[in-house]
Structure 1
Amino acid sequence: MSNTNDFNTMGRIISGIFFTFIFAISGYSLSLVPVFDRIGPLANAILLAIIYRQIFGYPELFRKGIAFSSKYLLRFAIILYGLKLNIEVIFEDGIGLLAKGFVTIAVAILLTLLLAKLFKADSEISLLLGIGTGVCGAAAIAAAAPIIKSKDEDTAISVGIIALVGTIFSIIYALILPFLPISDTQYGVWAGLSLHELAHVALAAEPAGEEALALALLAKLGRVLLLVPLCLILIFWVKNRNVTRSEERTNITFPWFLLGFVAMSVFGSYVLGNHVSVTIEVMDGISFITTFILTSAMVGLGLNVSLKDVKEKALRPLLAMLISSVVISLLMYWIAGV
């Protein structure tokens, strides 16, 4: 009987994982369609998952597999995300950009939270949006969410907002590029210091040329590197907050997947990066797998979104995040042009 139950449980987990894969594939397919190609597969997959939930309800049959994707595949994707980060290049050429990236993160989080308090917005969503805006979008939100004990619904809403707003900003950047009184390299630094996702930075900086794109990605990866110390600060903050609120005391477990993130960063920087036989195609393949797994994991979060409360919960944090994004854009434009 026990073996039968274990077999049934494993079957439900596997079928649930495949269920999220179907949405991820659909998100990639939708990203080939004009307009939706600007949003990206991750946001498309979450959008499809949210629509499915509103029409058909939560797929209870696949709950265990979906939960597995949301928890474990998500952490695995973040670990693989570390391969995108070349530590050696950052320390050789990007120390100044690293310091400027710290400014971006500090302003994004503090200003978003300040505005959220002023607008009486949902503090948890606002914090996730501030972290996503300051660091690296969905990956940063996914890393921070378990530390602050974020609800799946709030995490999914935050990821969706980041993807949408970041896409709009990157398109605006590309459109105004010909009219800006700064050099292409300065433009690249500006994009890397101010835009939300790594993909948004690439989208905005590519029209400015290879050198601008390289600087943009370097500036952005410096912000990604700061994700680890930021998460450690969050752990310290959450523990102290729980001490002062005895009714909310919980054990904050260390996010061990961040050590995997660091390990993959070191491995990618000093092993794969110096190995001639590792081709660009191989790295592109790893990048695709990472994004696909992250997309599949986010589907589970999207399926937990009920639109009944979204309007009330999301609009004010969105406004706070929009204002913060504009302020960061203007501030980093000035810094990049100095």
Structure 2
Amino acid sequence: MAKTVSGARAGLAALWPGLAVTVAAVVVSMAVAGLVPAVSALTVAVVLGVAAGNVPGFPVAARAGVAWSARKLLRAGVVLLGLQLSVGQVLGLGAGTVGAVLLVVVLTFAGTVLLGRVLGVSRGLSLLVATGFSICGASAVAAVEGVVERDDEDVATSVAMVTVFGTVSMLGLPVLFSAWGLSAEDAGRIAGGSVHEVAQVVAAASPAGAAAVAIAVVVKLSRVVLLAPMVAVVSLLERRRSAGAGRRPPIMPLFVLGFLLAVALRSSGVLPEAVLDVTKHLTTLLLAGALFALGFSVRIKALLRNGPKAFALGAGSTILVTALGITTMLLMP
């Protein structure tokens, strides 16, 4: 017993330096996001992670704790993400909007994977970008990376593409809304159906008014509901591909099942709003810590090798999801 306790203490002591670094990165990420609301804390976190991981002579003692954060914080954050979603909210959108969301997600995912093949992009990067762009940006990338055969650079590249092209959509869509004279409802549905990150969705819909923002967020969250089935589908595809090749990814990771249970709990209506507000902020903190840790393992030289092709993939996927969002949301009221 004494040896067990001593070993646990030693293990915890080895994690503290890295955990302290991760906490500091999360604090900085949240501060930057607070000053620049259009920039997601998750995006800032992964940038900080890449920067810290490539500093020569960065304390080796921090690496164990940072690696632990990448695994544990990610899973906890994805589970809590489910508490932001309610089945009732999604059903309240109406059959037309729900059908449009399904089409946007499925066609964007399939089209992005196909485009990745055409461009010669690695399978892992294609799957990460396809999931992130079709569902919920960096959070989706973080959720699916555990069931995909990929390099660490692929994760950072995917999040970078979410940032770049989500920002383009965030700035470009309000111009289209104004030029076309769209109603607040239509503007909100299109923003929620096509922009990558939740924060970017809010920024894109804001010029059309508070009503547009409210609709946009619910439509966006209806895409997030599809995170669990999407992870399951990707995992099944990866299992078939790696059949007989040793360890295969689980059909449904336990933390994704936790996500579904959290959605069910939120849908039951038993949790007070105060609790939901706290868990929303906690989710952002956990995912920011996880993405910092994932970025920490990236090496810039390897990341740059993916540059041109990854940029083309991000641009093509953004054009696809935007075109589908506009078309389906206007034709399927």
Give the TM-score normalised by structure 2: 0.91
Deviation of the 1:230 alpha carbon: 1.3
- Match of 1:137? 137
**Structure 2 partner of 1:259:** 257
Structure 2 gap ranges (5+)? none
1:334 to 324, 327, 330: 327
CA separation of 1:301 and 1:21: change in aligned 2, threshold 3 A = same
Residue range with higher mean Cα deviation, 324-333 or 76-85: 324-333
Q: Which residue does the alignment assign to 2:27?
A: 25
- How far apart, CA to CA, are the structure 2 residues paired with 1:6 and 1:77? 24
Contact 2:38–2:200 (CA under 8 A) maintained in structure 1: no
- Kept in 1, the 8 Å contact 2:166–2:197? The answer is yes
Residue matched to 1:322:
315
- 1:289 maps to 282
| Change beyond 3 A, Cα 1:122–1:286 | same
Which residues of 2 match residues 238-253 of structure 1 at below 5 A? 238-243=238-243, 246=244, 248-253=245-250
1:221 Cα offset (Å): 1.5
Match of 1:305 in 2: 298
SS in 1 for 2:242: helix
Give the partner amino acid of 1:189: R
What CA distance in whole angstroms lies between the structure 1 residues aligned with 2:8 and 2:246? 34
Shift of 1:146: 0.6
Equivalence for 1:12: 14
Please say if residues 100 and 329 of structure 2, whose CA atoms lie closer than 8 Å, have aligned partners that are also in contact: no
Distance in 2, matches of 1:13 and 1:48, equals 19
Deviation for aligned residue 1:59: 3.8
Letter in 1 for 2:329: A
| Counterparts of residues 268-279 of structure 1 (less than 5 Å) | 268-272=266-270, 278-279=272-273
Conserved? CA contact 2:37–2:199, under 8 Å: no
**Other-structure match for 2:64:** 64
For residues 65-107 of structure 1, the C-alpha deviation after alignment (integer angstroms, 9 at most, x for no partner) is: 1111100110000000001111112123344322211211222
The corresponding residue for 2:221 is: 221
Q: CA deviation at 1:123?
A: 2.2
Question: 1:271 Cα shift?
Answer: 2.6
Alignment partner, residue 170 of structure 1: 170
Q: 8 Å contact 1:87–1:269 — kept in the other structure?
A: yes
Q: Once the 2 structures are TM-superposed, how far is the Cα of residue 192 of structure 1 from its aligned partner? A: 1.0
Aligned length: 328
Deviation, 1:32, is 4.1
Identity %, equivalent residues? 26
**Which string of whole-angstrom CA distances, capped at 9 and with x for unpartnered residues, describes residues 35-61 of structure 1?**
x54322211121122122222355421
Structure 1 unaligned regions, length at least 5: none
